[in-house]
Structure 1
């Protein structure tokens, strides 16, 4: 695990402050044998492909893809044959995160999942104590829910900045995670102490903004340590934290609001995310291949004195101004959203699913507290139905995806991204049916367990759609663009979902009928969910054609 500490944000800080005395790399040791390819000084010794094999966009795509994914640099002979490009030392290079052992990969995925859970809990953690906040800050219910709106909006906008920056070879993932999490932890202090609603909403927006990197980039980080055929498994393990986090927030918030008051919800978030910060600062290594290779190139330059040693990431930074880099980075997620029909349609679908998840934070108190008379802590327990639904879905999803995706790839069979779509269609059916079950079983006279079954079925469908559609995007687009693709998804789904808690209570209250207080409100959502099943059906029929038109697709 020493390499985890060495490549972490804290380890890198110590490395630079000690002038490379501590946490040295193999290339800096005196007994390091420099590979011959980094010592040559003739153009003929550099691996090139014929010019006619690399033209226009295909050339840049091949360069980017090869340098960041496989480590095998493909160099057009005209422009770049004056350089020696750093690669991984073979397919089994231990410095390549994809070659870590199972324990290291598992620990890394746990770290990213725990980080995701710790910040996701903050989204709705104070909602069980909403009445206390209303009384103390002298605001109504709708204004009180603005804290959820601004937080979700913040972590929808944040990845548009953070994810593309993390795709720059000079920055990488780990430093973004550590620095933004540090600001998030600090922001919990004034949030817990604020005495007016305007300041509360501003602090919540800033908290969401700085909490956002892992919500979009976490999936990309998981992909960087996982062999292609195991990516769905790794993404599912990370997503357990992503989906369960918003549900654990109200659970702990209910207990804290009763025992200590609503402000303690934010002290709790500070403690949990502070622990995550301490762990990640020293045990979350960098995994972005262009960043790792760029650092290796700089060490080899220092060792050999040969400034021709480089990577595509370093060259891109050297050939462009900071302004050009920022414009390209910030524009890419927006471009992907607007110009990629696959991404746009999935973003809209996931946004609808995500919005329903946040509506549960409004409808569960309406039914279980106002209609059934549950206490605040009992209300908090109802949110565990969301987690149960997710865990059941995981137990079904993993064996299926292993059989349909992992095994065929290991058997050298061709697998297309559409393999995920039937599960997404099934998830869409569960999602819609769960909403109908929830709405029409939530009566004033039947047992309260019925609507919780509906919640569990809805969230099981939610998880299956999240997983399969994210995997569909992951299998459809080049790995180096995945952070931007996921950032696009996070922007659309969070921006749309952020407004749903504001009108959620009105939706259900205005459509309630005697004995069925939330039936028609849930049914409206169920009808929308049923209609949107057409989106994965479209991908299943026309997916190859849509991908063929994309410059970011594999």
Structure 2
């Protein structure tokens, strides 16, 4: 089989459709290596532990192990390891390990995940260019017309608290959640597009926001699944770029739809079409990346092949005292616990939430200045957001180059690298952030050319991606074992806080406007706040190790990084 054909088979075999075909065919189509007649079972899976006990007694032990946690069960890790066989990858180069997938497959899955993140943020704001038409149809003011945006943002902040920990359960994984939530999101767009009043529109948008959230909940986890530790921050950058671009592209896409159709409802028909296409893609051509789920399926094949039910995965061993409901309760509580009781996560969540709120508040200056003051067309006003897009791409390039220098190359040389390696880059981003806001605010006059203000927008875009990405990487490196839950707590707080600010953003800039400087004083307030917040990444840079030392979930030093580095096969 050619390399190209092998990659296609790997994608299909790991997809939802591939697993369905495999199951329906009785394991005769899209088979795994364990299904080949010439497959040699590794010795550890047919060791003496599995030969000493009969099949019936083994089944009883398995029920005791997986059941309700009887006090008569296994009491120590050593006892467990003597009775159960742990499934692992078949060597450091096992092709089933997502870390070892061919680079084109990892880039393909990364691209799809990035597109999903972009789509989520586009979905939040793509209807806003039609606000005036919506206001006229429903007879409401600007604040009420903005409610569907705010509730959508709050919704996609709540969703990760549910979907992120669920994706860390061995029988669920990432792809199934993407499929289920995409299907529900697609269906919700039909009543949303047909809404007859602002109440139904707002409620439907809130529910849709919840089911649009898996890219925020699991996007970082997907990249962690596929990339080894030295390259993980660069992989996460692709996810962050997609998300950050979506915020800016939403009004651009919405403006194009509004100009082309002159109907605000088409924003939601567009979401239906795109989400339907993504649903088909996830059903057919996106493989599962979550390691415990892949290993769990491998364990099932080995149990069937050997007749030994004592073949399990490490997650089973770790939760031997819990039932399935107990395990789910624990993982659903984990994001809440991490967000509240972990000092590093709590402080970064507060900081990013304030920055996120400022971003959504500041974005309201664009339609006010370019649309109302400078009287740009709907499309022209929407296109001004492309300055942020350009700045984001430039900032991403700067971030990747600096990250390779500060983090990737030293780690590849097997040097000691602390999570604080990201913070100097974060400080750079935090300095550029108020600079961009000040340039925008004081360049956006009624007399000067409007192009100068776009330079401020570009600087803001560059600083935003640098700052957000480095801080999320700091969290990811500190909590890599529970990265999805850590990101979920962050997404919840920043989205709930940020979602409220668009409601009064226009009022802030309009009430503080002067004849010559319509958005300068509103921008100055935001710029001063962001300037004061430069102290936060500086604080983490000097006190990060002490804060992480108090953590239950984070590694306190280099031994955790070294362990992960070795597990990645370096």
| Counterpart in the other structure of 2:486 | 485
1:273 aligns with 2:260: no
| Counterpart in the other structure of 2:354 | 352
- Contact kept, 8 Å, 2:161 with 2:217, in 1: the verdict is no
| Counterpart in the other structure of 1:77 | 78
- Contact kept, 8 Å, 2:362 with 2:523, in 1: the verdict is no
Pairing partner for 2:335 from 333, 336, 346: 333
Shift of 1:315: 4.5
Shift of 1:14: 2.6
- Contact kept, 8 Å, 2:509 with 2:522, in 1: the verdict is yes
Does the C-alpha gap of structure 1 residues 190 and 17 become closer, same or farther in structure 2, counting only changes over 3 Å?
farther
What SS does the corresponding residue of 2:48 show, helix, strand or coil? coil
Summarize deviations over 1:15-59 as a string: whole Å, max 9, x none. 2333333222211222211111100123999xxxxxxxxxxxxxx
Pairing partner for 1:17 from 6, 24, 43: 24
Shift of 1:531: 1.3
RMSD of Structure 2 on Structure 1 (CA) = 1.7
| Counterpart in the other structure of 1:29 | 36
| Counterpart in the other structure of 2:370 | 368
- Contact kept, 8 Å, 2:357 with 2:501, in 1: the verdict is yes
| Counterpart in the other structure of 2:63 | none
Q: What is the rounded CA distance, in whole Å, between the counterparts of 2:521 and 2:21 in structure 1? A: 59
1:546 aligns with 2:547: yes
What SS does the corresponding residue of 2:83 show, helix, strand or coil? coil
1:429 aligns with 2:436: no
- Contact kept, 8 Å, 2:342 with 2:552, in 1: the verdict is no
- Contact kept, 8 Å, 2:163 with 2:217, in 1: the verdict is no
Q: How many residues align?
A: 524
Q: Which runs of 5+ in 1 are unaligned?
A: 46-74
What SS does the corresponding residue of 1:42 show, helix, strand or coil? helix
| Counterpart in the other structure of 1:49 | none
| Counterpart in the other structure of 2:202 | 201
1:503 aligns with 2:504: yes
Q: What is the rounded CA distance, in whole Å, between the counterparts of 2:41 and 2:208 in structure 1? A: 46
| Counterpart in the other structure of 2:167 | 166
Summarize deviations over 1:172-217 as a string: whole Å, max 9, x none. 1111111111111121121111111111011111111001011121
Shift of 1:432: 1.1
Q: Which runs of 5+ in 2 are unaligned?
A: 1-7, 53-75, 556-570
What SS does the corresponding residue of 1:81 show, helix, strand or coil? helix
1:40 aligns with 2:41: no
Does the C-alpha gap of structure 1 residues 282 and 460 become closer, same or farther in structure 2, counting only changes over 3 Å?
same
Shift of 1:113: 0.5
Q: What is the rounded CA distance, in whole Å, between the counterparts of 1:530 and 1:407 in structure 2? A: 31
Using structure 2 for the length normalisation, give the TM-score.
0.89
What SS does the corresponding residue of 1:447 show, helix, strand or coil? coil
Q: What is the rounded CA distance, in whole Å, between the counterparts of 1:422 and 1:304 in structure 2? A: 53
| Counterpart in the other structure of 2:72 | none
Please give the residue correspondences for 1:366-445 in structure 2 after superposition, counting only pairs within 5 Å.
366-445=368-447
Q: What is the rounded CA distance, in whole Å, between the counterparts of 1:289 and 1:551 in structure 2? A: 23
Shift of 1:318: 6.5
Q: What is the rounded CA distance, in whole Å, between the counterparts of 1:18 and 1:154 in structure 2? A: 40
* Range that drifts further, 360-369 or 212-221: 360-369
Shift of 1:444: 1.0
Q: What is the rounded CA distance, in whole Å, between the counterparts of 1:316 and 1:278 in structure 2? A: 36
Using structure 1 for the length normalisation, give the TM-score.
0.92
What SS does the corresponding residue of 1:398 show, helix, strand or coil? helix
Does the C-alpha gap of structure 1 residues 42 and 327 become closer, same or farther in structure 2, counting only changes over 3 Å?
closer
What SS does the corresponding residue of 1:553 show, helix, strand or coil? coil
Q: What is the rounded CA distance, in whole Å, between the counterparts of 1:272 and 1:295 in structure 2? A: 31
Pairing partner for 1:452 from 443, 451, 454: 454
| Counterpart in the other structure of 1:512 | 513
Pairing partner for 1:469 from 468, 471, 474: 471
